[in-house]
């Protein structure tokens, strides 16, 4: 195919800009919050909405595939027999919206302000999925076909750890066979600096429950004679990291692959303004493991975080009470070659060791995901680089990210597939936070870049005999 063969597609995309935004609003209106059981029906409604959209733009074999949790939405287009096959992965579930009072406009009434669309899921991940739908629609409208084969696999449990997805991939190996995975679920390095991400951190998420008495106690009558679980919890958590930011769990760093001098040197070349970073976050000072830069801390080093604490009286006024229970949600971000199960056990053992016998301890494992890191000197990544250059007018830089997408390492391990992380979010997109937003210029350029991506990947040729006959 020639490099001018896309003018009709690109013109169609440019003319459809306003319509794209209006349609995206409908997708963003569905509160598909996977963490909250009361939204189970909304997840299904969202899956149905996607299925309808997939059929409308001309994808085939649109199916909701049941899992023990939320359905996976599958669709494909496989009528390019000599071209490679993309396995496109994304997630239609979103994070909870609290604290709701901090949203400028309601999270499920998408609102455009200053060139950004604000809504839960705008960037993570509905907007970035929709960008691909719109690229495909443009091809179908203008050329009646795609230059590549593509299989869509959109899940509804990413934000709660993708716990049914490994099994899903294992049991649908044949249907998911492809040459390369494409994912748009990450931010670019900075506004105006598109990037391709070649590494993600892994994750272990646990809950700690402490109980000190069968019910709350008067802190005057009992204070001093029993342990206070809230205080014990603070003491336990305080032992997780030392003052130089190092995690104190014995064995935690044993499997950590050290950063190479080469990679550290590459990251030092990336544009970064530490003061601006700090100010954008609104932090009085930055903190982190001694001896590492911000990029190194976030992309290349593991960490321990407290995600939430619950204990005792937090209402208005003062109440003299010793709480019966205290709870913490904690998580660890992992880097290659840490194994989630191994780290979870190390953590559990350490918590047992440092928790005094004055309280009852329960540790619950919630979810985990393996870290992922890939060589990025392959033909698919280079194809993605050219597509980004055509959509954004600038070649991408290469970075890792601190976030996690559990299934990416599964694609590598179970299907032997490389992934291309073709993300168009921004560091200030407020994902998981109030006022999540997607830059519409990036969205628009991303639709064009996606159209080029399919053509560029088509040019790479097939790696396998992947397309086959699908029957999910
Ligand atoms: N899209 C993010 C992952 C991400 C974040 C990639 C930042 C690159 C940079 C994804 O939706 C996410 O939030 N994942 C969770 C996974 C967890 C629940 C296992 C995360 O990272 O917390
Ligand atoms: Mn995401
Ligand atoms: Mn997310």
Residue 5 — pLDDT band, cuts 50, 70, 90? Answer: confident
pLDDT of residue 466: 54
162 Cα nearest atom in ligand 1: 19
157 C-alpha vs ligand 2 centroid, how far in Å?
10
Residue nearest to atom 5 of ligand 1 (CA): 403
Residue 465 — pLDDT band, cuts 50, 70, 90? Answer: low
Ligand located closest to 129 CA: 2
Question: What integer is the mean pLDDT of 192-207?
Answer: 98
Cross-strand partners of 118: 111, 437
Which positions are annotated as active-site residues?
93, 158
Question: What integer is the mean pLDDT of 21-50?
Answer: 98
- The candidate with the shortest Cα–Cα distance to 95, out of 105, 87, 103, 107, is 107
91 Cα nearest atom in ligand 1: 11
Q: Please give the backbone phi and psi of residue 368, each rounded to the nearest 5 degrees, phi first.
A: -150, 170
94 C-alpha vs ligand 3 centroid, how far in Å?
7
Question: What integer is the mean pLDDT of 73-92?
Answer: 97
Ligand located closest to 424 CA: 1
Residue 471 — pLDDT band, cuts 50, 70, 90? Answer: very low
Tokens at 44, concatenated: 């299904």
Residues 102 and 49: their CA atoms lie apart, in Å, by 28
Is residue 205 a contact partner of residue 331, using CB atoms and an 8 Å limit? yes
User: Around 331, how many Cα atoms within 13 Å sit in the side-chain half-sphere?
Assistant: 17
Question: What integer is the mean pLDDT of 225-250?
Answer: 98
- The candidate with the shortest Cα–Cα distance to 121, out of 101, 139, 103, 136, is 103
Question: Does 469 have pLDDT greater than 80?
Answer: no
Whole-structure pTM value: 0.95
Q: What is the pLDDT of residues 282-296, one digit of tens each?
A: 999 999 999 999 999
Is residue 51 a contact partner of residue 64, using CB atoms and an 8 Å limit? yes
13 C-alpha vs ligand 2 centroid, how far in Å?
24
pLDDT of residue 103: 98
Tokens at 415, concatenated: 């299907």
Residues, beta carbon < 5 Å, ion ligand 3: 124
185 C-alpha vs ligand 3 centroid, how far in Å?
8
Q: Please give the backbone phi and psi of residue 267, each rounded to the nearest 5 degrees, phi first.
A: -65, -30
> b/e for 69-92, b at 16 or more Cβ within 10 A?
bbbbbbbbbbebeebbbbbbbbbb
Question: Does 417 have pLDDT greater than 90?
Answer: yes
Q: What is the pLDDT of residues 365-406, one digit of tens each?
A: 999 999 999 988 899 999 999 999 999 999 999 999 999 999
Residues 363 and 351: their CA atoms lie apart, in Å, by 8
End-to-end CA distance of the chain: 31
203 Cα nearest atom in ligand 1: 19
In the structure, which protein residues have their CB atom closer than 6 angstroms to any atom of ligand 1?
Answer: 124-125, 158-159, 161, 185-187, 200, 203, 367, 369, 401, 403-406
Residue nearest to atom 14 of ligand 1 (CA): 404
pLDDT of residue 468: 44
Residues 252 and 236: their CA atoms lie apart, in Å, by 17
160 Cα nearest atom in ligand 1: 18
């Amino acid at each position: 195919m020639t490099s001018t063969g896309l003018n009709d597609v690109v013109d169609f995309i440019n003319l459809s800009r306003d319509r794209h935004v209006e349609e995206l609003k409908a997708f963003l209106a569905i509160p598909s919050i996977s963490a909250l059981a009361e939204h189970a029906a909304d997840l299904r409604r969202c899956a149905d909405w996607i299925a309808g959209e997939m059929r409308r733009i001309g994808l085939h074999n649109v199916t909701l595939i049941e899992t023990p949790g939320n359905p996976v939405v599958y669709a494909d287009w496989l009528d390019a027999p000599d071209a490679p096959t993309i396995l496109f992965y994304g997630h239609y579930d979103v994070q909870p919206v609290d604290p709701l009072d901090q949203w400028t406009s309601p999270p499920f009434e998408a609102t455009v302000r200053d060139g950004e669309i604000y809504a839960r899921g705008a960037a993570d991940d509905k907007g970035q999925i929709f960008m691909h739908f719109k690229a495909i629609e443009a091809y179908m409208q203008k050329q009646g076909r795609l230059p590549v084969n593509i299989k869509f696999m959109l899940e509804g449990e990413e934000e709660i750890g993708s716990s049914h997805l490994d099994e899903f991939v294992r049991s649908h190996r044949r249907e998911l066979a492809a040459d390369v995975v494409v994912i748009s679920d990450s931010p670019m390095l900075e506004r105006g600096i598109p990037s391709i991400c070649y590494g993600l951190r892994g994750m272990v998420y646990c809950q700690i429950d402490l109980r000190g008495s069968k019910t709350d106690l008067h802190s005057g009558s009992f204070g001093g004679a029993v342990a206070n679980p809230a205080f014990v919890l603070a003491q336990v958590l305080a032992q997780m990291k030392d003052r130089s930011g190092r995690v104190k769990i014995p064995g935690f760093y044993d499997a950590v692959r050290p950063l190479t001098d080469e990679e550290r040197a590459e990251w030092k070349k990336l544009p970064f303004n530490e003061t601006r970073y700090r100010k954008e976050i609104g932090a009085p000072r930055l903190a982190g493991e001694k001896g590492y830069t911000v990029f190194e801390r976030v992309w290349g080093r593991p960490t321990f975080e407290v995600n939430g604490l619950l204990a005792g009286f937090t209402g208005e006024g003062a109440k003299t009470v010793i709480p019966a229970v205290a709870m913490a949600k904690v998580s660890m971000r992992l880097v290659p070659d840490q194994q989630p199960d191994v780290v979870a056990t190390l953590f559990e053992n350490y918590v047992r060791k440092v928790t005094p016998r004055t309280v009852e301890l329960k540790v619950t494992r919630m979810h985990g995901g393996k870290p992922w890191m890939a060589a990025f000197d392959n033909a698919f990544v280079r194809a993605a680089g050219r597509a980004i250059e055509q959509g954004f007018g600038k070649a991408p830089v290469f970075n890792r990210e601190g976030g996690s997408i559990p299934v990416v390492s599964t694609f590598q391990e179970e299907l032997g597939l490389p992934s291309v992380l073709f993300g168009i979010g921004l560091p200030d997109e407020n994902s998981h936070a109030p006022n999540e937003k997607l830059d519409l210029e990036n969205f628009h350029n991303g639709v064009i870049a996606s159209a080029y991506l399919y053509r560029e990947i088509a040019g790479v040729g097939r790696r396998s005999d992947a397309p086959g006959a699908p029957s999910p």
